Amino acid sequence: MIYNDEYETMPREALEAIQLRRLRQTVERVYNTVPFYRKRFDEAHVKPEDIKSLDDLKRLPFTTKQDMRDNYPFGLFAVPMGQIVRIHASSGTTGKPTVVGYTRRDIKVWSELMARALAAAGVTQNDIIHNAYGYGLFTGGLGVHYGAETLGASVIPVSGGNTKRQITIMRDFRPTVLTCTPSYSLHLAEVAQEMGVDFKKDLAIRVGIFGAEPWSEAMRQEIEKKLGIDAVDIYGLSEIMGPGVAIECIEAKNGLHIFEDHFIPEIIDPETGEVLPYGETGELVLTTITKEGIPLIRYRTRDISTLYKEPCRCGRTLVRMARVRGRTDDMLIVRGVNVFPSQIESILMQYEEVAPHYVIIVDRKKALDTLEVQVEITQQLFSDEVRKLQELEGKIEKDIKETLGISCKVKLVEPKSIERSVGKAKRVIDKRQL
Amino acid sequence: MKVIQISVFLENRAGRLAEVTKALAEADINIRALSLADTSDFGILRLIVNNTEKAFEVLKDNGFTVGKTEVIAVEVPDRPGGLAAIMDILAKEDINVEYMYAFVQQSGANAVILFRINELDKAVDVLTKNGVSVLPGEKVYQL
């Protein structure tokens, strides 16, 4: 279903005219209200009036996560605090948290975009949404919550954690939609099984909207098979807004439609900063063109994706981004080869003998990088013959070598020995002292 | 004529084996025979116990990866050449042994050896025809 027919199916020329108008307004505003941007634009010798076409966007300097940290907490806000109605922040696991503020209008836009996203995933006002994204400083919980209310669906604000209670609620309240991280959905399935609850027969979930961490197509199939649902990918980041920046339509499940009447996407070469054409893979850069609280110009998301502008069969004219393959900072360089955890995940998913829980450990021994993949074996396919288990390790190692071009060590570990997370799964441990 | 063996997947981690034996001890289960196969990454503990079903459940409830495998228990005369004669019978029939280990306890004057063989039925058949005694499960669990 299309929530906002006018904007989601607008002819490209009309959409681009709106984008240009909104971009120019945003650039003008940040230049006059945020000292950081005035300084950056002056250093780059670019004035707001130089932006005459969408193509001129590339003349503007990038904004990075580091810039947000340097201006911690409110330095990039473009309105006085009196106009801010909500503050969110990133977890800050990799440094100072990044803080974002929303005006009343920002919240309204976010709610509408999230409602559009839910509708694209096939959700209607008759659905009950089990929202297991964390509520709090993280944007996931409240983002989905407001979108659900705007759409008119019923929302259960269950938040993260207490997994057994979540299963009980799903069994008793009979929600039809599940929203959480993809790895948590598999954990839910595991716990349901332990509790003797059949996810397919005893629960009413028919669609899951999963995001906040990179996942692979193979993992989608795994989730769809295990949970007996449609799994849809959603994209967003707190710096830009939160969930609802882009969503897959349930019709195609092939690329995420970016709500371009509010954001302008670009793909750049992460090394050189050069803008890449449609169809090429690189770092996703987003510019907000309607945000009031904290507008961001050419924000480097560090997410690796590709943009496609071929029309989609759902009828939306919006550009699609490929599911995020990983992050530029998740990208491991092992013996000079670029490795994304998602590539390893895709390989592991092809084996029934192992569970989709894994951790990648990179170390350096005598100046040589070593890559170890620990993966849980499954109870059902456990063999008591050493030879068979070693053959399995060998087969996976060979597959990884063939795909990535580097050798690695696969180590089978006991079920449930890899730490489960209710939020974003930690897949990589880099022990190298670089 | 088959014996059910319990196998447990063990990560190479200090204390893991102790957790298995502790769980069994608390459930009052007696270990009749055991063998540990190990690689650099993991080990597989194989056990014959006096109460297979209970041991299986207890270990599973304690979060271990447990499997059940059929093996055969063969009485081997406790004298030079005793085992050789049995291996010879199997070799002549082209029966491959995956692994084997011995019982601590004797059965009368004989040693008891457990064999894991893919063609179990054929092995039982061949051994019995050649006058070798293959012990039934009930007897083995109570040895």
All domains of chain B in start order, with CATH: 3-69 (3.30.2130.10), 71-141 (3.30.2130.10)
Residue A333 has pLDDT above 70, yes or no: yes
Q: How confident is the model at residue A59 (pLDDT cuts 50, 70, 90)?
A: very high
Q: Are residues A283 and A201 in the same domain?
A: yes
Task: State the pLDDT at residue A422.
Answer: 66
Task: State the pLDDT at residue A326.
Answer: 78
A-chain residues near B60 (CB < 8 A): 379
CATH number at residue A50: 3.40.50.12780
Q: Are residues A344 and A298 in the same domain?
A: no
Task: State the pLDDT at residue A33.
Answer: 96
Q: Are residues A121 and A175 in the same domain?
A: yes
- Give the domain-ending residue among A327, A356, A389: A327
Q: Which of A52, A25, A13 is nearest to A287 (CA)?
A: A25
The radius of gyration of chain A from alpha carbons, rounded to an integer in Å, stands at: 22
Contact B44 A389 (CB under 8 A): yes
Q: Which residue of B has its CA nearest to A380?
A: B67
Contact A386 B44 (CB under 8 A): yes
Q: Are residues A187 and A248 in the same domain?
A: yes
A417: containing domain: 332-430
Interface probe with B: pick from A384, A386, A417, most Cβ of B within 10 Å: A384
- Give the domain-ending residue among A301, A327, A353: A327
- Contact between residue B137 and residue B5 where contact means Cβ atoms under 8 Å apart: no
Contact A415 B69 (CB under 8 A): no
Contact A414 B9 (CB under 8 A): yes
Q: Are residues A193 and A340 in the same domain?
A: no
Q: Enumerate chain B positions whose Cβ falls within 8 A of a Cβ in A.
A: 5, 7, 9-11, 37, 39, 41-42, 44, 46, 60, 63-67, 69, 98-99, 116
Average pLDDT of A349-354? 85
Tell me which DSSP letter residue A50 carries.
G
In whole angstroms, give the CA distance from residue A255 to residue A237.
17
In whole angstroms, give the CA distance from residue A318 to residue A283.
19
Q: Are residues A308 and A397 in the same domain?
A: no
Q: Which residue of A has its CA nearest to B46?
A: A384
| Residue type (1 letter), A259 | F
Contact A382 B67 (CB under 8 A): yes
Q: Are residues A407 and A365 in the same domain?
A: yes
Q: Are residues A92 and A199 in the same domain?
A: yes
CATH number at residue A357: 3.30.300.30
Backbone angles phi, psi at A418, to 5 degrees: -90, 135
In whole angstroms, give the CA distance from residue A142 to residue A159.
9
Contact A386 B11 (CB under 8 A): no
Task: State the pLDDT at residue A354.
Answer: 85
CB atoms within 10 A of CB B128: 12
Q: Are residues A295 and A337 in the same domain?
A: no
- Write down the mean pLDDT value for chain A: 92
A229-248 pLDDT, tens digit each: 999 999 999 999 999 999 99
Residue A94 has pLDDT above 60, yes or no: no
> What Å distances lie between residue A392 and A41, A98, A354, A395, B45, CA to CA?
56, 43, 9, 5, 19
Three-point CA angle A279, A259, A87, nearest 5°: 120
How large is the ipTM?
0.77
Q: Which two tokens stand for residue A169?
A: 């609620």
Contact B39 A414 (CB under 8 A): no
DSSP SS3 for A161: coil
